[in-house]
Amino acid sequence: MSSNKLSEIELMKGQLRPPIKLFAGSASIEIAENIAKSFGTKLGKVDILRFSDGEFQPFFEETVRGAHVFIIQSTIPPTDNLFELLLMIDAAKRASAYKIAAVIPYFGFARQDRKDKARCSIGSKLVSNLLEAAGISRIITLDLHADQIQGYFEVPIDHLYGSSIFVPYIRSLKLDDLVIAAPDMGGAKRSNVYAKFLKTPLVFTHKSREENHKIGEMTVVGNVKNKNVIIIDDMIDTASTVCKASEIMTKKGAKSVRVIASHAVLSGNAYENINNSSLTEVIVTDSIKLKKQSSKIKIISIANIFASVINNVIDHKSISNIFIASENNQD
């Protein structure tokens, strides 16, 4: 029996540890470098051939044969970032990688998690189908917009929670009269996890949207007078919701209003909205690279958590001990 064939059999039996290789997509180079550094390795070499018409073709500049490959890429708009990830997965599969894990710090299209209007798409389900068709064996991601997206996949998915880094930061602030707030009814479950863990009251805002998706009326349910309020959300897009919530809470006597969100999408007038708001601070992870800097925006890296999870996945260990406060227990 050839040595190559013997090695394949030993890998299947778990007697050999396959080479571990981490690669970055072009949208997530900084966080990928931090993950690789925390993991104790360097990113693998990958390049992209770009054609004049906008077409592109990623390719690996080193062998991935027999390797456990982790491809790190957030699928933020434009959709080129998603398609680049799909092409990298396909390239790794065709180059005989042993296993391919997609590490997606920010999972795009997650707001399209159900059919909430007639004749509409369910984008997150389509994305899950595409990733599996491309050849992934696992997904590692952070704070999905909707937990049910995990059920769209037929491969294992490790769902990380930003609370692992946010809770220690909240405690470091040593705020008296702390109150946790949900930005809307949809985020109440997530905010309630923080409130229970930190043993603080929970308030929430109720908002209505007009036909053009602009926020209509907003009310705060709960007492915020003389309180230090922290609004918990999974993402900040235009920041209009949290800025309006901050304005109302401040008028109701809140001492300070902060926002914690895992994903800084920050599109449209988000930076202007934040800078001109009554918000004391906006705390986010580095799942998405900021387009510009703001004195009100603080970044806490999630790279160490991703590196720990990758290491546990490789060693077939539980990841539940990594999380501080989560909506669900994980194996």
Can you give the three-state secondary structure of 15-29, one letter per residue? CCCCCEEEEECCCCH
How confident is the model over 61-76, as pLDDT tens digits?
999 999 999 999 999 9
Look at residue 13 and tell me whether its pLDDT is greater than 90.
no
Q: In terms of DSSP H, where are the helices of 261-329?
A: 270-275, 303-314
Question: Residue 43 pLDDT more than 70?
Answer: yes
Express each pLDDT in 118-137 by its tens digit: 999 999 999 999 999 999 99
For 198-213, what is the mean pLDDT?
79
Q: Per-residue DSSP letters for 175-242?
A: -SSEEEEESSGGGHHHHHHHHHHHT--EEEEEEEE-TTS-EEEEEEES--TT-EEEEEEEEESS-HHH
**170 has a pLDDT exceeding 90:** yes
More confident residue, 110 or 324: 110
CB atoms within 10 A of CB 225: 11
Torsion, Cα 119 124 130 131, to 10 degrees, reads 180
The pLDDT value recorded for residue 216 is 66
pLDDT of residue 186: 78
Task: Identify whether the C-beta of residue 18 lies closer than 8 Å to the C-beta of residue 67.
Answer: yes
| Reported confidence tier of residue 92, pLDDT bands at 50, 70, 90 | very high
Task: Tell the burial category of 38 from Cβ atoms under 10 Å away from its Cβ (0-12, 13-18, 19+).
Answer: middle
Rounded to two decimals, what is the model's pTM?
A: 0.91
Contact status, residue 176 vs residue 228, Cβ threshold 8 Å: yes
Q: Pick the range with the lowest mean pLDDT from 9-23, 233-247, 266-280, 313-327.
A: 9-23
The backbone region for 42, taken as left when phi is positive above 0, alpha when psi lies in -120 to 50, beta otherwise, is beta
Q: Give yes or no for residue 6 having a pLDDT over 50.
A: no
Please tell me which residue in 207, 244, 252, 255 is annotated as part of the active site: 207
| Among 121, 160, 179, 167, CA closest to 302 | 160
Return the pLDDT at 212: 53
Mean per-residue pLDDT, 286-305:
97
**Active-site annotation holds for 207:** yes
Q: How far apart are CA 292 and CA 286, in angstroms?
A: 13
Mean pLDDT of the chain: 91
pLDDT of residue 11 exceeding 90: no
pLDDT at 330 over 50: no
**CA–CA gap between residue 303 and residue 311 (Å, rounded):** 12
